[in-house]
Homo-oligomer: A and B are copies of this chain.
Amino acid sequence: MLGVALIGAGFIAEYHLAALRRLPGVALRAVVSRDAAKARACADRFAIAEAGDSLAPLLARGDVQAVVVATPDDTHEAVATACLEAGKAVLLQKPMATDSAACRRMIATAARTGSDLQVSWMHRHFEEVEEARAWIAQGAIGEVTTIRLRNATPGPDWGAWFFQTARVGGGVVLQLGAHGIDLVEHLFGPIAAVSARTATLRPRRRLASGEEVAVGNPDSAWATYRLADGIVVSHEMSMIEAAGCDRFRMEIYGTEGTLWLRSERGRLAAFAPRRLGARGWFAPTLPEAPLGERHHRSWIAGLTGGATEDTALAGLRGLLVAEAIARSAAAVGRETVVEPA
């Protein structure tokens, strides 16, 4: 049995716990949150015995080998570092941190302690993403030339910290765009150069709690990326959309066809005459695994012996691209090179 605990009882906690509890060989041991009542309520929903507001007792437990860190972004480094030092494997919610320097320090800590450090890239594990990757690899759409990507939601109106520059400077780029940046690099390789524009188009917003907050960081961003191999990507990010996007929408254009993910044509749609033998749109039937199952199975498999992708390096890459977006936006759009990891 692998003992797992969750640190942070916010919105994303449900995603991790619902998936982990279905996995054989995993025992959910505890939930920790700064708010003890939230920790208790969350633990009760998943029949987890232990709940509390203190990290120390958790780190001392011998029957907890791995933790999911899902606290606010600006606390990631402190929490993850403590866990790594205590010998726990860590799955860290994205964005990895609020700047690339913190990412580098955590990676160094993991290397020194020998504790496993991963970043949680849930989008990679969606069935439509895996299926699209397979179609591209088979040459179904020829050579990929351009990508069109949007990450948009009405906004994370369940917490004030999302909108505070002092806590998370990147705004929509780190909150939503990080998913898209990782998808692009995961599927198509490193982003070499960035041109970007950012804006705060809704300067005040009302949270779900009724509280009205000032928005200090960008809620909208537009970037184009040049990849190492010549592909051009356009990437929109928005936290002020009333409706339209279901987490992300990705359009992949190739010399011989087109793939759309999460469009109105279905979770995946392909115009791929070369593969299908006919012109037209095809929406493959995808497996309907519960959300997060493939993701967490992959994490657990990696911890218990299997090979995994280096998702911590991808965590650092996400910050480096976000920092390039900020630099280009500050230079009113002038293209800037992404710093190497």
Which residues of chain A have a CB within 8 Å of any CB of chain B?
22, 45, 47, 141, 145-146, 148, 150, 195, 197, 199, 201-202, 220, 222, 224, 230, 232, 234, 236, 238, 240-244, 251, 253-258, 260, 263-266, 271, 275-285, 328, 331-335
Contact = CB atoms under 8 A, between A and B. Distances in A.
Nearest to A194: B333
Given A47-B47, A243-B279, A282-B282, 11 more contacts: A148-B150, A195-B197, A222-B232, A234-B234, A242-B253, A243-B257, A243-B258, A264-B265, A276-B282, A279-B285, A333-B335
B333 A201 contact: no
A335 B335 contact: no
6 contacts: A141-B242, A145-B202, A146-B201, A148-B236, A202-B255, A243-B258
A40 B4 CA distance: 25
A21 B224 CA distance: 45
A277 B260 CA distance: 19
A230 B244 CA distance: 21
What are the 8 tightest A-B residue pairs by CB atom distance, in nearest-first order? A264-B264, A195-B333, A280-B284, A243-B271, A279-B285, A332-B335, A333-B333, A282-B282
Contact of A244 (B195, B253, B280, B332): B253
A243 to B, nearest CB: 4
Contacts of A145: 201-202, 220, 240
Contacts of A251: 244
Contacts of A258: 241-244
A281 B332 contact: no
Nearest to A243: B271
B280 A280 contact: no
A282 B270 CA distance: 9
A199 B232 contact: yes
Given A232-B201, A238-B253, A243 B281 contact: yes
Contacts of A331: 334
- Among A276, A280, A285, residue most surrounded by chain B Cβ atoms (within 10 Å): A280
- Among A244, A265, A278, A328, residue most surrounded by chain B Cβ atoms (within 10 Å): A244
Contacts of A282: 276, 278, 280-283
A230 B201 CA distance: 9
Contacts of A141: 242
B264 A232 contact: no
A264 B249 CA distance: 13
Nearest to A231: B201
